[in-house]
Each structure stands twice: as structure tokens, then as C-alpha cells.
Copies of this chain bind each other. A is one copy, B any other.
Amino acid sequence: MNADFTAEELKFQKEVQDFLKAEFPQDIKHKVDNGIRLEKDDFVRWQKILYKKGWVAPNWPVEYGGTGWTPTQKYIFAMEMGLYGAMEPVAFGVKMVAPVIYSYGNEEQKKRFLPDILASNVWWCQGYSEPNSGSDLASLKTTAVRDGDHYVVNGTKTWTTLGQYADWIFCLVRTDSTAKKQEGISFLLIDMKTPGIKVSPIYLLDDEPEVNEVHFDNVRVPVENLIGEENQGWTYAKVLLTHERTNIAQVPNSKLKLRKLRDLAANTPDGFGGSLLNNTVFARKLAEVEIQVLALEYAELRTLAAVSVGKAPGPESSILKVVGTEATQFIDELYMEVAAYHSLPHIPEQFAEGFDGDRVGKGSLANSSNVYFNNRKKSIYGGSNEIQKNIISKAVLGL
């Protein structure tokens, strides 16, 4: 057991740092540092730079474009990206649909879809949840009925993040309504330009249209867009859910947020002549969450280490989801606490590109409540934290 990086690992770390400093676009960095909303183009542009470097998809098999890194290298890469504020590629393509395609798709599908995902030529979104399914995902009702060489899709998907930008959507659809609920589900790729698809925005608590409802009205999807076998979609989706859990702990991001928070607190008067950081009650809380993130980091490293010696990422990884999201949410609370009165304004234009009016509050503090509100979703989506606790009690504790 030892915590040191090898000389090669240190060299690699330096390489990542240098790359980020040289290649992460200044204007995007400015946005990230100041809490300004990122647009589609920012994500695409940055992913194309990563693509040029060959660093889009560390977890993919090398044959499809993966990096072939060791677990430690992957950890270093994710950590340096996160600490620098560089975004990960949007997950829906790289982390979510791609593993299903390269694991269960046919050669034709791999060739057709994977390169465009890697190169950020196509924007994907996810069609899993439905208005009435929620945590009980397998109860989904969107149907796909075979009609010659097509499936005819009808139904509504919801919580479709950034669906307004998407070229393609991957969906779970019901192809056999007589089977048990998990057994009649198929995995279908759908071109968003197909007639009959309508996207309507859902405004979240920060008043941003981050997610959408996607309605399917007799949408005709070629059968070659089916992944694997009909009615086996649930099996594939479960694998995808495991991949989705990678970096669900969000340690690099939390560390960056904590670092910024510490700076902000050091520069925030406590109202009595000192700084908030020197206020013991605040400092104690900050310490508590810093330590929580540290414990989480090592819990994640231990999981990765277990995976690297061939163990599957077990249900234990549910704790990464629970603890990671709760840590994020607690950090959000501390931002509001630093912001105090300045946590209350709702001035979205101040956090849009090109704003040059009077600013309220230091840095992104005037957006701290909105961030807090928005991030309440984290303990709900991706398998709610209650579902994760069910998984732990059943699959780990055997209750």
C-alpha cells in the first residue's frame, strides 16, 4: 500500500497540466471561473480539442478510441481536468450510449456512431425516464411497434437533459407489453430530426430550460437502429447505468468548488472585523465537508483499485452516488452561507455570455441560491439516493 505516484505518473500529471494550460480555451475558462453559463458550442469546441489529443474517452476500449491508460492515469486525468475547471465531454454520448454501442451494437452500428461521438460531431441525449416512471424506470410506457422495416414509436420521455441541442436520442422503449415489465424493453437509437418528435422545455428551479420533455407521435425508426436483440434493452441499460456511475462521486469538481469557496470565505467579511474563514463555526463546517470529500476520494480510489484487479464495480459504488451528491449539495449550502444577502438575487442575465451591466455580488455568489436549487436534482436523478440505499441494503447487506 502506498500513496505516491511513480515517476511516470508524475510525468503524465505534468503532461495533463501543460496540455490544459495550453489548450483549454481562455474564453471558456473565463466562463467557468465566473460561473457564466456554457453554451453548446463551448462543449463541442473543447471536445474537439480533446479529440485531437486522443483524450476524449479514457474508459473506451483502445480499438474504438480509448486511451489505454492505467486506473491511476485515469484518476490523474480526471482530477487535473476537474481542478482546472475543464469540462468532461458531455456524458450522453461518450459515457452513456457509446458503451452500449461498443458492447452490444453490431459492427455496422459501431462504425456508424462511435467515431462521431468521439469527434463530437453528433450530440446525444437520453430517453429513459417518463412522467410516470421515475425511480421505477422499468415501468416505462413508450411503445415501439414493429411495422415492416420500422418501429413506430409513441410516448413521452422526460428529464431529457440538454435535449434541445441533441441530434440523436437513445431510448428505452416497450416492444412487448405482454412480458414482465423488465423483459419487454428494447434499446433504440432515434434521429431527432425524424418527423413526429417534439421537444418542449421544462424550466427548473433556477428558471433555466436545462431539461426537456420529448414527445414521440408515430415516429418511424428504422429497425437497424435497434441495439442488440429485441426485448433485451433492460439488460443493456443496466450495464449503462453502471458506466453512468463513473465519476458520479464528482470529487474533482467538489475539490475545485471547495478551493474557490475557501478563497471566497477568506475575502468575505464576517461583519465583525474578521473574515468568514477565520470564523471558527464556519471553518469547522468547511473542514467537515473537505474531509468528507477526501474520504469520498479514497472510497472511489479503492473502488477503482478493486476494478483494476478484475472485480466488477459492485453495488458498493452506490455509496459514491449518495455521498458525492450530498457533498455537492452541502458545498452549495456553504456558498449560500458565504453569499449571505447576495445569495438571494435571481439575475440570470448576469451569468450569460457578454453581460456588461452592474454586477451584484462577488464572483458567482449572486447565483449561489440558483445553483443550490438546481443541484437538488442530484440526489434524485441517476437512481435516487433512496434507490441507492435500497440497493445497498439488498445487494450488499443482504437485507
Query: A118 to B279, alpha carbons, bound, how many Å?
Result: 56
Chain A interface mostly: helix
Query: A284 to B279, alpha carbons, bound, how many Å?
Result: 12
The chain B residue with its CB closest to the CB of A283 is B281
User: Which positions 265-290 of chain A face chain B at CB distance < 8 Å?
Assistant: 279-281, 284
User: Which positions 152-193 of chain A face chain B at CB distance < 8 Å?
Assistant: none
Q: Which residues of B contact A280 (CB under 8 A)?
A: 279-281
Q: Min CB distance, A337 to chain B, in Å?
A: 14
- Binary flags per residue of A336-380, CB closer than 8 Å to B gives 1, else 0: 000000000000000000000000000000000000000000000
- Binary flags per residue of A235-278, CB closer than 8 Å to B gives 1, else 0: 00000000000000000000000000000000000000000000
Q: Which residues of B contact A279 (CB under 8 A)?
A: 280
Q: Min CB distance, A48 to chain B, in Å?
A: 50
The chain B residue with its CB closest to the CB of A280 is B280
Q: Min CB distance, A151 to chain B, in Å?
A: 41
Query: A207 to B380, alpha carbons, bound, how many Å?
Result: 46
The chain B residue with its CB closest to the CB of A279 is B280
Q: Min CB distance, A279 to chain B, in Å?
A: 8
Query: A12 to B299, alpha carbons, bound, how many Å?
Result: 62
Q: Which residues of B contact A284 (CB under 8 A)?
A: 281
Query: A313 to B284, alpha carbons, bound, how many Å?
Result: 42
Q: Min CB distance, A276 to chain B, in Å?
A: 13
Q: Min CB distance, A71 to chain B, in Å?
A: 39
Query: A284 to B280, alpha carbons, bound, how many Å?
Result: 10
Q: Min CB distance, A389 to chain B, in Å?
A: 17
Q: Min CB distance, A69 to chain B, in Å?
A: 43
User: Which positions 105-141 of chain A face chain B at CB distance < 8 Å?
Assistant: none
Q: Min CB distance, A294 to chain B, in Å?
A: 20
Query: A279 to B280, alpha carbons, bound, how many Å?
Result: 9
- Binary flags per residue of A311-355, CB closer than 8 Å to B gives 1, else 0: 000000000000000000000000000000000000000000000
Q: Which residues of B contact A281 (CB under 8 A)?
A: 280-281, 284
Query: A281 to B279, alpha carbons, bound, how many Å?
Result: 10
The chain B residue with its CB closest to the CB of A284 is B281
Query: A281 to B281, alpha carbons, bound, how many Å?
Result: 6
Query: A280 to B280, alpha carbons, bound, how many Å?
Result: 7
Query: A279 to B284, alpha carbons, bound, how many Å?
Result: 12
- Binary flags per residue of A32-71, CB closer than 8 Å to B gives 1, else 0: 0000000000000000000000000000000000000000
Query: A333 to B280, alpha carbons, bound, how many Å?
Result: 21
Query: A279 to B281, alpha carbons, bound, how many Å?
Result: 10
Q: Min CB distance, A286 to chain B, in Å?
A: 13
Query: A281 to B287, alpha carbons, bound, how many Å?
Result: 13
Q: Min CB distance, A291 to chain B, in Å?
A: 15
Q: Min CB distance, A110 to chain B, in Å?
A: 50
- Binary flags per residue of A55-97, CB closer than 8 Å to B gives 1, else 0: 0000000000000000000000000000000000000000000
Query: A280 to B281, alpha carbons, bound, how many Å?
Result: 7
Query: A284 to B281, alpha carbons, bound, how many Å?
Result: 8
Query: A281 to B284, alpha carbons, bound, how many Å?
Result: 8
Q: Min CB distance, A386 to chain B, in Å?
A: 16
User: Which positions 193-211 of chain A face chain B at CB distance < 8 Å?
Assistant: none
Q: Which residues of A contact B (CB under 8 A)?
A: 279-281, 284
5 contacts across the A-B interface (CB closer than 8 A)? A279-B280, A280-B280, A280-B281, A281-B281, A281-B284
Sort A-B residue pairs by CB-CB distance and give the 5 closest, nearest first. Answer: A280-B280, A281-B284, A280-B281, A281-B281, A279-B280
